[in-house]
Structure 1
Amino acid sequence: MNTRNFVLICFLILIAFNSYGQIEQDSISAVQKVEKQVEKQTEIQQLKVPIYKLFPTTNYWTFIKLDTRNGKMWQVHFTISEEGYEGELILNSSSLIWDDKEINGRFTLYPTKNNFNFILLDQLNGTTYQVQWNNDENKRFVSRIY
């Protein structure tokens, strides 16, 4: 093998190695850019869908506050007089799903014709619950509908 062929072969090998390294680096950069875009979209989605939502009841002074991630709920009362009750009463203080399954907007409430009842829907798996609000603690509950 003469010197010229040897130099040519070495040159081709160097070009091949350099090209391979450049392609791999470009691929890593492209993957990192896509991952950043996905993270941004997830952040934007999380901001668009609120964690907490208020649902009106038929009582002017009462709303139901829902944590849309996990199904926790409170009965919220407000007043415009000094004599009225103002505050929150617990409807459901326990998460209805595991912490790692929480997603903003997962749960929502639907009113029924009964003034004191709502249907809670898990919008990911379709599970439904009867939610009954009331000023009397013994009449407040959340019960799964089978």
Structure 2
Amino acid sequence: MSAKTIMMIFFLTLTTIHSFGQIKQDSISSIQEIEKQVEKNTEIQKLEIPIYRLFPTENYWTFLKLDTRNGKIWQVHFTVSDDAYEGELVLNSSSLIWDDKEINGRFNLHPTNNMYNFILIDQLKGTTYQVQWNNDENKRFVSRLY
């Protein structure tokens, strides 16, 4: 083989190796860019679905506050007079799912014909709960429906 042929083979080998290196690097950059876009879209979706929602009751002064990620619920009272109660009362302070399963919007409340009762639904699993609010602590609860 002549020196010219050896140089040509050497040059082609180096060019090929360099080309493969560039393609791999470009692929990694593309994958990283796609991952960033997916992450950004996920963050936007998390912001669009509220963590907390207020649900009106038939009582003008009372709302139910739901943590849509885990099913925690509070009874919220407001007032315009100095002598009436205002604040939050706990209906359910325990998460209904494991922390790693929390997703914004997972739980939702639906009113019933009884003003003190709502149905809470886990929109991913379909699990339902009876939610009863009341000013009397002994009459407030969240109970799974089987």
Partner residue, 2:108: 108
Find the residue that maps to 1:20 and give its secondary structure: helix
Find the residue that maps to 2:65 and give its secondary structure: strand
Q: Note the C-alpha offset of 1:4.
A: 1.2
Identity %: 73
Correspondence 1:1-146 to 2 at 5 A = 1-146=1-146
1:100 is aligned with what amino acid? D
Alpha-carbon separation, structure 2, partners of 1:6 and 1:145: 81
Alpha-carbon separation, structure 1, partners of 2:6 and 2:128: 76
> Gaps spanning 5+ residues in structure 2: where?
none
Q: Note the C-alpha offset of 1:125.
A: 1.1
TM-score norm. by structure 2 comes to 0.98
Q: Note the C-alpha offset of 1:78.
A: 0.5
1:41 is aligned with what amino acid? N
2:134 is aligned with what amino acid? N
1:66 is aligned with what amino acid? L
> Gaps spanning 5+ residues in structure 1: where?
none
Q: How big is the alpha-carbon RMSD for the aligned residues of Structure 1 and Structure 2?
A: 0.6
Aligned length: 146
Find the residue that maps to 2:90 and give its secondary structure: strand
Find the residue that maps to 1:104 and give its secondary structure: coil
Q: Note the C-alpha offset of 1:5.
A: 1.1
